[in-house]
Structure 1
Amino acid sequence: MAEGDPEDFAAAFNAASIDGWVSAMGLRLVRATGDGVEAELDVGPQHRQAYGIVHGGVHAGIIETLASVGAALHALPEGRSVVGLENHTSFLRAVRSGRLRAEARPLDRGRRTQVWEGSVRDEQGRLCATGRVRLLVLEPDAVLAGQRAGAPG
């Protein structure tokens, strides 16, 4: 994908700061399209659990975020939104510091559900976590937690 590609929504997403978890974690999208999402995160004290390694929830959250962004970008042109149904993340290598790089790609994009697969790697390119996220595709008039889906909350 060429730099500045109008189909890449990473810069707009980063500037909007619409996702509190993403902002709190310091996750930066590098590329964001309906066909794949890439991000990076500089590990800090807020990412570590008691043993001094990156918390598994951070890995799971990164994978779910990237899958959700990609799935939403695929669904939005039809006026639909998405919400996660399952996140299965496996932790393969402990990380204490440095920059994490992550990516997610679609495995299946159906009318009612999408399945995305993601990975998180350390600065040396070693695989730290992998995951699979299943998302429900919501119709434009769907209500989620008492509000129309996609409405700011």
Structure 2
Amino acid sequence: MTDTQITPDPVGTQLFATMPFAAELGIEVLDCGPELVRSRLQWRENLCTLGGSMHGGALMSLADATAAVCAFLNLPAGKQGTTTVESKTNFVRALRSGHATATATPLHPGRSFIVVETEIRDDAGKLVAKVTQTQAVL
């Protein structure tokens, strides 16, 4: 992926707007639907740790917000929201430029818990992190 112009997804933009921290980070919505939610975060110096690598907390925040929207879109009928109860991240490589792009897919859209898997990749498509997250249905 390059620095091409992105047309924001209106539904996804509304859902991400409910999370002020995601807006503060500058997360952009790319695709948004029950089977796949995709967003990205641009590398910035103020989001880095030593050596110019994007901070793990910034990457985890990207994954958490993306997975939360995916879980919300998979809510059982009559339910109103979710909250993260568990998140496990494996960092595979550093991201030192470009964008971190998160792709979240539902693994288990259950009645009490929704499990979502999120991959974060760099602009070359290389895996940066893999996240498995459990959201409690509220």
TM-score normalised by the shorter chain: which range applies?
Answer: 0.7 to 0.9
List gaps (5 residues or longer) in structure 2. 1-6
82-91 vs 44-53, which deviates more? Answer: 44-53
CA contact (8 A) 1:39 1:101 kept: yes
SS at match of 2:68: helix
CA apart distance, 1:96? 1.1
Percent of aligned pairs with the same residue?
26
Q: Deviations over 1:76-111 (max 9, x none)?
A: 752321000001011101111112211000000110
Give the ranges of 4+ consecutive aligned residues of structure 1 lying more than 2 Å apart after TM superposition. Answer: 11-14, 76-80
- The answer for unaligned runs of 5 or more in structure 1 is 139-153
**CA-based RMSD:** 2.0
Q: Which one has the largest radius of gyration?
A: 1
Map 1:1-150 to 2 at 5 A: 9-13=11-15, 17-75=17-75, 77-138=77-138
Amino acid at match of 1:72: F
Equivalent-residue separation in structure 2 for 1:70 and 1:43 (angstroms): 23
Work out the CA distance in 2 between the residues paired with 1:76 and 1:127: 31
Q: TM-score, normalising length from structure 2?
A: 0.86
- The alignment's TM-score, normalised by the length of structure 1, stands at 0.78
Deviation readout 1:18-60 (Å, 9 max, x if unpaired): 3221112111111122222001121111210133211111111
Amino acid at match of 1:34: P
The one-letter code sitting in structure 2 at the alignment partner of 1:75 is L
Q: Number of residues paired by the alignment?
A: 131
Q: Are the counterparts in 2 of residues 9 and 31 from structure 1 also a CA contact under 8 Å?
A: no
Kindly indicate whether the alpha-carbon contact (under 8 Å) linking 2:48 and 2:55 is maintained by their aligned counterparts in 1.
yes
Structure 1: how far apart are the matches of 2:101 and 2:77? Answer: 28
Question: Which is bigger in relative contact order (C-alpha 8 A, separation at least 6)?
Answer: 2
